[in-house]
Amino acid sequence: MDTRLADFIRDTPAGQEAERILRSCVHCGFCTATCPTYQLLGDELDGPRGRIYLIKQVLEGQPVTEKTRLHLDRCLTCRSCETTCPSGVQYAHLLDIGRQVVEEKLPRPAGDALTRFALREALPRPAVFGPAVKLARILRPLLPTALADKLPPAAAVNNKPWPTAAGRARRMLALAGCVQPELAPNINAATARVLDRLGIELFEERKAACCGALRFHLNDQAAAKDDMRRNIDAWWPHVEAGVEAIVVTASGCGVQVREYGHALAHDAAYAVKAARISALCRDPSEILVAERDRLLGLFPGGSRGKLAFHSPCTLQHGLKIRGAIEEFLWAAGYTLTPVADGHLCCGSAGTYAVLQPELSGRLRHNKLAALNAGAPQAIATANIGCLTHLQAGSLLPVRHWIELIDEVLT
């Protein structure tokens, strides 16, 4: 794609990256076939190809309009288009650049700006988010549906203990995260118990919190990079001490940590450390794949009923992990039901469900119909955002897959 970037961005690192990505797009349109918002709305500007043209226009100096922002805001950043693209267009990186420029050039209306400010200031801070969740559970009937949907019922919170064994030769570090410790504290604990059965000690560093994804995708990239630097500083002593991996149990956070090296590539003080952190980042399934034979030998056998697995976009399109979790669930005794259009987003997408509730709700409705089609007894997934989003619309329990593996091994 021919480009003529404007002076304000042409010679910047962002401009150079954007030009490279734009030139890799051949305008074939394959991406529209797997874009969730294009499937819903049928508008070229609500598909990757149309959004690429909108970003190209902005970067070439054409006026930024509310129409431009509307179509960029509607993107889920699910990366399904990247999986489909035969040219390897790094659409998500281009979208980040385009959104940031739009944010700088076109101030948002006061109400929208206030909502986004509240989300990026409250959610990444566990000291604020934890008490807010407790209060929100009390006030749930009074909350807007989009916010109430994000709250799992109190009964879903399970505080089973972490394994007590310490001092193992093999040690791995876990990202505690910002919202998961309050909404589903058993996920990391279940991961620690599973890894303990494999002779691996998993521990958290509480000085690390939000991975930076939330602020980054709300177009506050400067604050997001500060979140990344804080985590790197918290983890670095453990990296120097020889931890094998940084285990991230939420696939959405995993994609962000895997991107630290890219996001901080031009930061002289952090570029090398960020690249090392990205290289150490692992989804739990990647750890279990490396220990596959030992893990399969621990399963007791027997049937555990029918289960539908929702593969988050961040898992299959972001981390490029496909089939591994399903294999372990089959081996653990679950019968996995077929799920049509498994490549399509459930509509959670971080804060998308709050900011785009109508589209998010339609996507969830479609996803739950596909998940329920095989009459499963439960739904499993790999990301806290997908879990809470699906649970809000589902009568079936929605669990993180590692919790199910933990229960089979207990």
What is the residue-level pLDDT of the chain in tens, covering all 410 positions? 788 999 999 999 999 999 999 999 998 989 999 999 999 999 999 999 999 999 999 999 999 999 999 999 999 999 999 999 999 999 999 999 999 999 999 999 999 999 999 999 888 777 777 676 677 676 677 667 666 766 766 645 555 788 876 778 899 999 998 888 888 889 999 999 999 999 999 999 989 989 999 999 999 999 999 999 999 999 999 999 999 999 999 999 999 999 999 999 999 999 999 999 999 999 999 999 999 999 999 999 889 999 999 999 999 999 999 999 999 999 999 999 999 999 999 999 999 999 999 999 999 999 999 999 999 999 999 999 999 999 999 999 999 999 999 999 98
Q: How far apart are CA 351 and CA 121, in angstroms?
A: 13
Residues 6 or more apart in contact with residue 2 via CB below 8 angstroms: 23
Select from 148, 173, 190, 300 the least CA-distant residue to 234: 173
Check residue 75 and give its pLDDT.
Answer: 98
Q: What is the CATH number of domain 155-287?
A: 3.40.50
Burial of residue 174 (CB within 10 Å: 0-12, 13-18, 19+) is buried
- 3-class SS of residue 317: helix
The domain ranges of the chain are: 7-105, 155-287, 300-409
If you compute the radius of gyration of the chain from its CA atoms, what whole number of angstroms results?
21
The β-bridge relationship of strands 378-381 and 246-247 is: unpaired
Check residue 265 and give its pLDDT.
Answer: 96
One fold for 155-287 and 300-409 = yes
Burial of residue 218 (CB within 10 Å: 0-12, 13-18, 19+) is buried
Q: How far apart are CA 103 and CA 108, in angstroms?
A: 8
Long-range contacts of 101-105 (CB under 8 A, 24+ apart): 101/9, 101/58, 101/59, 101/64, 102/58, 102/64, 102/68, 102/69, 102/72, 102/219, 103/219, 105/58, 105/64
- The pTM assigned to this predicted structure is 0.92
Check residue 54 and give its pLDDT.
Answer: 97
- Please tell me the total number of residues recorded for the chain in this structure: 410
Which residues face 307 on adjacent strands? Answer: 336, 378
Contact 178, 126 (CB under 8 A): yes
Separation of first and last alpha carbons in the chain: 55
Check residue 165 and give its pLDDT.
Answer: 67
- 3-class SS of residue 299: coil
Instruction: Quote the distance between the C-alpha of residue 282 and its chain's center.
Output: 13
CATH of 300-409, one of 3.40.50, 2.60.40, 1.10.3470, 1.10.1740: 3.40.50
CA geometry: angle 291, 294, 300, nearest 5 deg: 130
CA distances from 163 to 173, 186, 194, 206, 393 (A): 14, 12, 9, 17, 33
Check residue 155 and give its pLDDT.
Answer: 47
Fold of the 7-105 domain: Fumarate Reductase Iron-sulfur Protein; Chain B, domain 2 (1.10.1060)
